[in-house]
């Protein structure tokens, strides 16, 4: 039986009326995304049609999911909101703070030893406020959500950018910062600009070595890392119907890598099979009763150009296996000779040192079974792996079932290292090197979603390539980046030339899923007696102090850093070893912008202190400005804040005294996070004005006292030689968001309203 079945039935009980009314108001057939959005309006019944990409709308999500790294700050903020319980079903999942190094048992025990304080804090806060708690080792948040909580037609938010994984089960599931989650936990509406819609029509069928992963790798090539910004991507067509539910989840998961608000598929037979296989026949029965409301109207898919803002068509029958990377998830290369040519031209190492399977993107039973079929072939044909091989199962349910069915044992026979059911290398929790900064140049392949520099192992010289689990297995066996299993052969231990056959797997386990201990702890019905203790001397946890408003007078502000090129949330607030400080704002602020490249010297963590003229680390320089009461600004390039939803990338500069971030363009979540923390997130009205910013500049915000929706701000830039430029900065703040700024943060406003 499903968690929260009564809540799900309640959603379905009103969906018909709401969608019918929305269809009448808009005067047209509706996409699935529109149906879910209109069915989750904060005010209940739709009263007007909304303009895509323009109107800010208040929504009422059905549930919230938080992973342990982001949950700390989210729950620290919620503790200030003055509420007795969370207003909507919420869960916390301990999957980020487990480092992959020696193997599952030893690594899990090490995490329990090293992060016990944090796990205890999260468990006690969850118990106090009515939050479901998934223990360390229970699994990766998004796989656990897909198995237990996701449902067709639902809306959820999560404090992780890959919350979008639940779109594989027909949800609109969106990654947000912790402050957004706190709003919903506190019973407030959640605000989102009504998204644009991108339709992806899938024709043909996947076969052979081509996997769902290759679909999203192709979409990433087409749309790039920012092509989905402000849009929901909706997949449809015969190719979508023929795909498994977890395959759909893989595609939706990596929608975060194209900047999409989320991605989704209409409810179909594969979703029903998955719901029944995961002991949720009650959800499947309820969904079947309203199934035409859990997918787009037929006219939409028959004539998509009339209903989507953009339409892409991909023929799955002609799609081959791809590898995307290095250093960006949208650089796509076909397997084989194309990779040979590109690698040699760009000096990418062709020898592969590691193949890694797992992460929230590709750790389902189906993924493991298809990769295991390749591993079994290697064993049968006398092959061994030329690269090291690692596996992260997605959940304890997946791991237990895969072990019962002999899948885990196949990997072990091929000398694969089985890591904990956790994120591990995908989010930088990989104990690969003692000194990653000085580690050698190398290539790895993985089935993860992101491959930014230093992302997996902290080594800036690691060239990471993203591929399907079966391709990762094949390349780990071959040891070469340009290995094409469709055409290439290998030499076995008897000197024979052998060829790998196409992968085979199971959409769902033939004997059903099984698990002895899933790792879930339900909260007490009344947790008012539960005491949450935070040691004031802790280096891991710190109670929050409300931010003071920045004010409507910013004059003589200094430039902290002008970031050059790609500046993701990994550059602004690194993960890896810094994850241990995610609950301590002052300590983690020591990694603020240390990965950003300074445009004036092309170095990282090395900026000019205008007070002394000396160069120093970014956090140290900013702390010097803060000590003098001097406000600063950060300048950036396109898609600033791409990547993870981590709100620390906004909270750290806010905590240290940065007043404004001025860039060519923002990634959606990061822009919202800046607004939530009471900062100015601004864009150049004229992109070329980025080039006017000089190292010793000072800034006066001329008309900030007139801050209003739709009104650009004027910034006077004073150069060291006495000259000056005037820059116009655009913004997307509405009245409510300007109130956040004036109060110092969205949380301050919630507390004020609660009082």
Question: How do residues 237-295 score in pLDDT, each as one tens digit?
Answer: 999 999 999 999 999 999 999 999 999 999 999 999 999 999 999 999 999 999 999 99
- Look up residue 691 and give its DSSP letter: G
Tokens 């859990």 identify what position? 294
For residue 315, give every residue at least 6 positions away whose Cβ sits within 8 Å of its Cβ, in sequence order, or none. 203, 204
Active site residue 95: yes
In the residue annotation, 315 being an active-site residue is answered as no
**Per-residue model confidence (pLDDT) at position 644:** 81
Q: What is the pLDDT of residue 575?
A: 85
Question: pTM value?
Answer: 0.91
Q: Write down the catalytic residue from 142, 450, 584, 648.
A: 450
Active-site residue among 280, 646, 668, 670?
Answer: 646
Q: Which two tokens stand for residue 361?
A: 């993107």
Q: Does the annotation mark 399 as catalytic?
A: no
Which residue among the candidates 4, 62, 95, 180 is catalytic per the annotation? 95
Catalytic residue among 62, 107, 160, 482, which? 160
Active site residue 646: yes
State which residues of the chain have pLDDT below 50. Answer: none
Active site residue 450: yes
| Of the candidates 40, 60, 37, 61, the residue with the CA atom closest to the CA atom of residue 50 | 37
Residue 571 known to be catalytic: no
Q: How many CA atoms are closer than 13 Å to the CA of 313, on its beta-carbon side?
A: 9
Q: Rounded to whole angstroms, what are the CA distances from 601 to 137, 232, 562?
A: 44, 38, 10
Q: Which of 332, 364, 644, 665 is catalytic?
A: 644
Closest CA to 81 of 135, 44, 128: 128
Q: Which of 93, 230, 99 is nearest to 159 (CA)?
A: 93
The residues pairing with 93 across neighbouring beta strands, listed in sequence order, are: 67, 134
């Amino acid at each position: 039986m499903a968690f929260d079945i009564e809540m799900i039935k309640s959603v379905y009980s009103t969906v018909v009326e709401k969608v019918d009314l929305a269809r009448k108001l808009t005067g047209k057939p509706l996409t699935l995304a529109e149906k879910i959005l209109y069915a989750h309006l904060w005010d209940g019944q739709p009263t007007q049609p909304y303009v895509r990409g323009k109107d800010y709308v208040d929504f009422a999500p059905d549930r919230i999911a938080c992973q342990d790294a982001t949950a700390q700050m989210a729950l620290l903020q919620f503790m200030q909101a003055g509420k007795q319980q969370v207003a909507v079903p919420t869960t916390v999942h301990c999957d980020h703070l487990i480092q992959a190094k020696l193997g599952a048992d030893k690594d899990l025990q090490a995490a329990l030893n090293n992060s016990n304080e944090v796990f205890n804090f999260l468990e006690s806060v969850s118990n106090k406020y009515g939050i479901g708690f998934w223990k360390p080792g229970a699994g990766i948040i998004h796989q656990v959500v897909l198995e237990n909580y996701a449902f067709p037609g639902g809306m959820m938010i999560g404090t992780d950018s890959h919350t979008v994984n639940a779109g594989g089960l027909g949800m609109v599931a969106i990654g947000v910062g912790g402050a957004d989650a706190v709003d919903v936990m506190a019973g407030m509406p959640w605000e989102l600009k009504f998204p644009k819609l991108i339709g992806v029509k899938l024709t043909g069928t996947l076969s052979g070595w081509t996997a769902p992963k290759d679909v999203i790798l192709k979409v990433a090539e087409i749309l790039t890392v920012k092509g989905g910004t402000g849009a929901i991507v909706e997949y449809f067509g015969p190719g979508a119907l023929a795909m498994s539910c977890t395959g759909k989840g893989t595609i939706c998961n990596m929608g975060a890598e194209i900047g999409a608000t989320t991605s989704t598929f209409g409810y179909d037979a594969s979703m029903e099979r998955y719901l029944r296989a995961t002991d949720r026949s009650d959800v499947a029965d309820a969904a079947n009763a309203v199934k035409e409301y859990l997918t787009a109207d037929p006219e939409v898919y028959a004539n998509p150009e009339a209903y989507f803002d953009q339409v892409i068509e991909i023929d799955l029958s002609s799609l081959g296996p791809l590898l995307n990377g290095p250093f960006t998830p949208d650089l796509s290369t076909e397997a084989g000779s194309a990779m040979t040519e590109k690698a040699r031209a760009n000096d990418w190492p062709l020898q592969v040192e590691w193949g890694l399977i797992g992460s929230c993107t590709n750790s389902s039973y189906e993924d493991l079974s298809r990769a295991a079929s390749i591993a079994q072939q290697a064993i049968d044909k006398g092959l061994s792996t030329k690269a090291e091989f690692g596996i992260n199962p997605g959940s304890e349910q997946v791991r237990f079932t895969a072990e019962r069915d002999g899948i885990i044992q196949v990997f072990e026979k091929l000398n694969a290292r089985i890591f904990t059911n956790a994120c591990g290398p995908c989010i930088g929790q990989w104990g690969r090197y003692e000194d990653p900064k000085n580690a050698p140049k190398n290539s790895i392949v993985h089935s993860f979603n992101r491959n930014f520099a230093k992302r997996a192992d902290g080594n800036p010289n690691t060239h990471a390539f993203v591929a399907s689990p079966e391709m990762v297995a094949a390349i780990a066996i071959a040891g070469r980046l340009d290995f094409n299993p469709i055409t290439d052969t290998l030499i076995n231990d008897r000197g024979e030339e052998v060829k790998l056959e196409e992968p085979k797997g199971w959409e769902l386990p033939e004997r059903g899923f099984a698990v002895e201990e899933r790792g879930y702890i339900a909260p007490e019905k009344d947790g008012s007696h539960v005491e949450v203790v935070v040691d004031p001397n802790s280096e891991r946890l710190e109670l929050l102090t409300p931010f003071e408003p920045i004010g409507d007078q910013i004059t003589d502000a200094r430039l902290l850093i002008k970031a050059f090129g790609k500046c993701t949330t990994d550059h602004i607030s690194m993960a890896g070893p810094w994850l241990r400080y995610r609950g301590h704002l002052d300590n983690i602020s020591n990694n603020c912008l240390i990965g950003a490249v300074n445009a004036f010297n092309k170095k990282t963590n090395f900026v000019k202190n205008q007070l002394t003229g000396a160069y120093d680390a970014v956090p140290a320089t900013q702390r010097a400005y803060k000590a003098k009461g001097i406000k600063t600004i950060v300048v950036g390039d396109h898609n600033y804040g791409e990547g993870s939803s981590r709100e620390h990338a906004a909270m750290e500069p806010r905590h240290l005294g940065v007043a404004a971030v001025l860039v060519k363009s923002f990634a959606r979540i990061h822009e919202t996070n800046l607004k939530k923390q009471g900062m100015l997130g601004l864009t150049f009205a004229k992109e070329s004005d980025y080039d006017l910013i000089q190292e010793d500049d000072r800034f006066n915000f001329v008309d900030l006292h007139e801050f209003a929706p739709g009104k650009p701000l004027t910034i006077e830039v004073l150069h060291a030689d006495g000259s000056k430029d005037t820059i116009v900065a655009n913004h997307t703040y509405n009245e409510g968001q300007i109130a956040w700024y004036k109060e110092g943060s969205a949380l301050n406003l919630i507390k004020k309203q609660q009082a």
